[in-house]
Every structure is written in C-alpha cells, then in structure tokens.
Structure 1
Amino acid sequence: MAEITAALVKDLREQTGAGMMDCKSALTETKGDVEAAIDWLRKKGLSKAAKKADRVAAEGLIGISTAPGKGAVVEVNAETDFVARNDHFQGLVKLIADAALSNGGDAEAVKAAKVGDKTVQEAIASAIATIGENMSLRRAASLSVGKGVVGTYMHNSISEGLGKIGVLVAVESNGDAKELAALGRLVAMHIAATGPLALDSSSLPADVIEREKAVLADKAKASGKPDNVIEKIVESGLKSYFREVCLLDQPYVHDDKKSVAQAMKEAEGKVGAPIKITGFLRYKLGEGIEKQDNDFAAEVAAAAGKS
C-alpha cells in the first residue's frame, strides 16, 4: 500500500478537481492507487461534480414536504432553468424535501441524512454526474406546531410541492382542522405576495430597526425640523415601516381594510377557537445569489477571434 501523503492527495485533486477530503477517502479506499482512486471518484460522481463546482447555480427549485403538524422547505440550486423541468432533478428535490422533514431544518444534517443506500449529498453528486450541471442544497428549514396546522403555498408551481416561491406558516389553534388548513393556505399566499421580514416588530433584528430610525431621523433633520418634532416623525415612520415589513401588521391581501392580526381574530369565530401565528418561512429561488451576466454573443465573438 502506497503511503497516502499530502502531495499524493494534492496530485489527485489536481487531476480530478474533487474535494480534498474526497481525494483522501478515495486513496484510502484504493490503498494509494491513484488510477483506481480516479475511477472510485468517477463512480461516486465526485470527480465530475467537483469540476463543475465553480459554476454559479442560481436556478433550480424550491421544494416543500409536509406531514400533520409540521413542514419543511428546501432550496436546491442548479445552473439553468431548463433543469427544473427535468424529472430526475424534480425527484431529487422531492427526496431532499422529504429528508428535511424527517431530519429537521439544518442543511448539513439533511446532506448527511441517508436516503436508501446513500446520503443526500451523495445523491446530489450522482445527479450532477447524470444531468451534467452543478447543483447544491443551498438551505433548508422546518416548522412545527403542537396543535394546529402548518399552512403551505407554492408559487409558480411546476409539480406538487415544487416551484419558485415556497411558504410555510405555523398556525396554532385547537379549532376545526379543515378550516385551519384553508386559513393557513390563505396566509401563506399573503406571505408569498408581500415578503414580510418578520412576524412582528419584536421579531425584527435590533440593527434593522436602528438603521430605519437613522434614515427617518436624517430625512427629518434635512428638512430643518426641531428635535421634538423629529422624535415624533421617527415614531410615526417606524409604525409605517412595521406595517410594511411585519406580517401581523401588514394589510391582509385578501381584505386590505384589516391587518393580518385583525383578520386572524375575525377568523376565530369560523374556526371555533383562538388562533395564533407563531412563525413562517418564505423561500424565493435564487434570492441573494449574484448571477453571472454572461454576454453570449461576446463569448462567441471572443472564441472566434481565438480560433
């Protein structure tokens, strides 16, 4: 058995583009035989996958999986929108969403979770090798309730539980389950449309509130207002801001004459018990990812100039 040195691992990594730990595992499994290690990585889909790892993967699908009293949402990215129509990829996202439902919302735990005879991460690597695009589980999260429902909504749905904007909302209540499910879907639709930042003002990060206060104060100062007036302007401005970004304070999209909180209070009569929204999750595909803006015509021209 050849000694597995750092130089040997580095050499294998340069030949295959696979990760350092994957290369070390491959050499260990093959007793230091580099050629056999290359084949081992190819069979695992890790060599081909690693070579694609520098490509920006901002397309893909949001996936949702639910069970009574709980739900999970995941974002699985790929390089092109075309892949979202691929049956293999759709099956992969459903598999990952189910794994998130069973294993909680931590993305690393989901990647390590077993699905059949392989882990989720290995299933992703296999799909990369089969489909030929870089893919990744970007994030995962879950919600649950003791009593009540986890309402769901998928916007731009292409299949059951798959789409471009996925929402979960925890609605706690001892009321009628059927009515709660319908209400949960309506609230989830509201969240998809409005994109609230937090459940209420107390849930907003302190730095977000301070930043908004500073903006309001600076605007008021620029207009020459005295300090006592500035204080009132900031207070009023914050209330308006909370109505924009806090779910319970937002005008309800299904009846904008009332807030979401007021709509939930009104719905208690129909449900037959008090209602409390305790949390929500809203995943929009690709949000926060800087996509490469490639000029295809320029690329072709550049390639022609080099040929």
Structure 2
Amino acid sequence: MAIITAAMVKNLRETTGVGMMDCKQALSENNGDMEAAIDWLRKKGLSKAAKKAGRIAAEGLIGAVTAGTRGVVVEVNSETDFVARNEQFQGLVKMIAQVALKVGADVEAIKAAKVGEITVERAITDAIATIGENMTLRRAAMLEVGKGVVASYIHNAVIEGAGKMGVIVALESDGKTDELAAFGRQLAMHVAAANPQALDSASLDPAVVQREKDVLADKYRQQGKPENVIEKIVESGLKTYYKEVCLMDQAFVHDEKGKSVAQAVKEAEGKIGAAVKITGFVRYALGEGIDRQETDFAAEVAAASGQKKPPEDPATVS
C-alpha cells in the first residue's frame, strides 16, 4: 500500500478542484497513482477540472519572434525570477529567439549557432558566469507556412517579445497580410487563454480519446445505465470534450455570442479576402512540466534556529 503524503493530496486537489478528503480517498483507492486517482474522481462525478495540467513553476522567460511566414517560440530557464528581470538575461532570450528563427527549432543547433565570434552556448555560459545563476535553453518550436503569416502573442510580457507565456499560430492564406496578421494575433491570444490540446478532433492522440471514452462509460455504468444508452451518452460527451480541448471547436474568446473558432475563421475570411487555414499552433507556458524540488520552509527555519522541525499535522497525512 502506497503512503499517501500531504503533498500528493495537495497536488491532486489543485489539479482537480476536489475536496481534500475525496482526493485522499482517490489516492488511497488507486495506490497513489495520480492519473488513476483523477480518473476515479471523474467516474464518481466529483472532478470537473480533471483536464487541468499540473503547472509546476519554473523561472525564466518565454521568447517569441515572427517574420512573415515563419515564427519561433523558445523557453530559457533560470533559477530565480530575479534573473528574469535582469536586462542581460532578457537580451539573451531575445537573441536566442532570433537565432532560432534563422536556424530552426533544434536546441543543439541553436546552441551551436554563432552570434558574432561566439556560439549561443558560449553566450549562455558567459551569462551564467556574469549573473551567477544557472540557466538553460530548455526547448524551442517553429511554425512556417508557404503563403500567409505566423502570428505571435506574449502574455505577461516582461519586455517586448518575452514573458511568462508565448504563443505562435500559423495561418495559410492568399489574403491581405495585414488583416491576416491581426486575426492571427487574436487567435494567438485565444490559444493563450483557452489552452487547446490539439487543432481538431482528428489531431488528438487516439489514446487520449480512448481514455476519455473509458472514463465516461465507466462513470455511467456505475450509475446503472444500460450499454446502448451509455454508447449514446459517450458520443455526446466526446462532442463536449472536443469543445473543451480542440482549437477549432472551442468557443472563440473574442466573441460574446459563443461562436466557435471555426466559425470565427469563416467570418474573418470576408475581411481577409481569401480562405484561411490554421495549420498549427504552439503554446509555451513558463516551467510547465518541470519537476522542481519543493523547499521545506519550516524545516529550513527550524534548522537555522537550531530547533527541530515542527511536527506535521496528522490530519493531512495518512
């Protein structure tokens, strides 16, 4: 039997929005398996926010830059937020994004590329030596179209082109470039806000779709629904799911009447003067998916004062 810690319960609670005791029971029932516990809560009808990804904070900046039919987004991490506010680090991020625009999204190729007399990797090393804090080029992505634009949006911008979240969206069209770029920026803002997981239902990982089907089916089996009814409910549930996670099916955030992104694209084609096809998008949120060692602040304070760590609340740990 796995030991269920307070940290595990807290993580599940933040991910699902479900109460502490239900989260603790879900983890106990599933031997501490986080994904299984999420599914267990959903089958019980307790979790309405199970699709939230765990957002573990990391510091640094996301940089994005576009040039007509090409655009890139990069993530450069640092140890503290103080460095993200350092002008030298900000300049480094913008420089790395510009290099990526030329050489592509391969991290090793970016690091090997030269800026003046030195490589990007050497520039990072020099910045570490000067600023006194470790930093890394974590990832990069590029989008390109034959005809059209790649638009970008930076959320929580620290400087122009760099902030805590970056989005690029590729739009293929023969239409007016200025109108296309304006609409592309709206789409990039939508992606930042709505966090779609795929362009459309056909682009979703089949394993993810199957998991959603299994969760929905098991939930209604537990309620005693017959199989023929469950099949219809699952199909209806999948349509709702697609509206939550697929860009083209999502409600466009810039429209109060609730039109879908697909409908917004069709409407925008009038101003743009030609058909528009969204060929891809990339959304980078700073630090997503990075496991960081949690600091036990109480223990640090106790150690500094020569005292023992305060006992944990038995109500929070099994």
TM-score by length of 2: 0.76
Give the structure 2 partner of residue 250 of structure 1.
250
Q: Distance in 2 between matches of 1:205 and 1:166?
A: 23
Counterpart residue type for residue 157 of structure 1: A
Asked whether the 8 Å contact 1:57–1:135 carries over to 2, the reply is no
Task: Please state if 1:146 is matched with 2:146.
Answer: yes
Q: Secondary structure at the match of 1:168?
A: strand
Q: Distance in 1 between matches of 2:279 and 2:114?
A: 31
Counterpart residue type for residue 64 of structure 1: A
Q: How many residues are aligned here?
A: 251
Counterpart residue type for residue 254 of structure 1: H
Give the structure 2 partner of residue 262 of structure 1.
263
Give the structure 2 partner of residue 91 of structure 1.
91
- Deviation for aligned residue 1:57: 9.0
Q: Distance in 1 between matches of 2:209 and 2:107?
A: 29
Q: Distance in 2 between matches of 1:257 and 1:199?
A: 18
Q: Distance in 2 between matches of 1:290 and 1:282?
A: 19
Counterpart residue type for residue 109 of structure 1: A
- Deviation for aligned residue 1:115: 1.6
Equivalences for 1:39-54 in 2 at 5 Å? none
Asked whether the 8 Å contact 1:63–1:93 carries over to 2, the reply is yes
- What does the per-residue CA deviation read over 1:48-72, in whole Å, with 9 as the maximum and x for residues that have no partner? xxxxxxxx99200000121121111
Task: Please state if 1:80 is matched with 2:80.
Answer: yes
Counterpart residue type for residue 200 of structure 1: D
Equivalences for 1:136-215 in 2 at 5 Å? 136-215=136-215
Q: How high is the sequence identity, in percent, across the aligned residues?
A: 68
Give the structure 1 partner of residue 45 of structure 2.
none
- What does the per-residue CA deviation read over 1:168-197, in whole Å, with 9 as the maximum and x for residues that have no partner? 000111111111111000000000000000
Give the structure 2 partner of residue 51 of structure 1.
none
Q: Distance in 1 between matches of 2:72 and 2:144?
A: 9
Counterpart residue type for residue 206 of structure 2: A
- Deviation for aligned residue 1:111: 1.6
Asked whether the 8 Å contact 1:107–1:141 carries over to 2, the reply is no
- What does the per-residue CA deviation read over 1:239-297, in whole Å, with 9 as the maximum and x for residues that have no partner? 11000000000000011521000110011111110011010000000111123332445
Q: Distance in 2 between matches of 1:217 and 1:108?
A: 45
Q: Distance in 1 between matches of 2:177 and 2:193?
A: 24
Q: Distance in 1 between matches of 2:301 and 2:91?
A: 34
Asked whether the 8 Å contact 1:57–1:78 carries over to 2, the reply is no
Q: Distance in 1 between matches of 2:155 and 2:149?
A: 19
Q: Secondary structure at the match of 2:306?
A: helix
| Cα separation, partners in 2 of 1:261 and 1:57, compared to 1, 3 Å | closer
Asked whether the 8 Å contact 2:65–2:152 carries over to 1, the reply is no
Q: Distance in 1 between matches of 2:151 and 2:93?
A: 20
Give the structure 2 partner of residue 284 of structure 1.
285
Counterpart residue type for residue 294 of structure 1: T
- Deviation for aligned residue 1:300: 3.8
Counterpart residue type for residue 271 of structure 1: I
Larger radius of gyration: 1
Give the structure 2 partner of residue 233 of structure 1.
233
Asked whether the 8 Å contact 2:57–2:288 carries over to 1, the reply is no
Q: Structure 2: 5+ residue runs without aligned partners?
A: 1-55, 308-318
Asked whether the 8 Å contact 2:61–2:75 carries over to 1, the reply is yes
Counterpart residue type for residue 289 of structure 1: I
Asked whether the 8 Å contact 1:57–1:134 carries over to 2, the reply is no
Q: Secondary structure at the match of 1:210?
A: helix
Asked whether the 8 Å contact 1:72–1:142 carries over to 2, the reply is yes
Asked whether the 8 Å contact 1:143–1:279 carries over to 2, the reply is yes
**Greater helix fraction, Structure 1 or Structure 2:** 1
Q: Secondary structure at the match of 1:156?
A: strand
Q: Distance in 2 between matches of 1:225 and 1:231?
A: 10
TM-score by length of 1: 0.79
Give the structure 2 partner of residue 52 of structure 1.
none
Give the structure 1 partner of residue 53 of structure 2.
none
- What does the per-residue CA deviation read over 1:173-232, in whole Å, with 9 as the maximum and x for residues that have no partner? 111111111100000000000000000011111111111111011111111111111111
Q: Secondary structure at the match of 1:299?
A: helix
* Higher RCO (CA-CA < 8 Å; seq separation 6+): 2
Q: Secondary structure at the match of 2:63?
A: strand
Q: Secondary structure at the match of 2:259?
A: strand
Question: Over aligned residues, Cα RMSD in angstroms?
Answer: 1.5
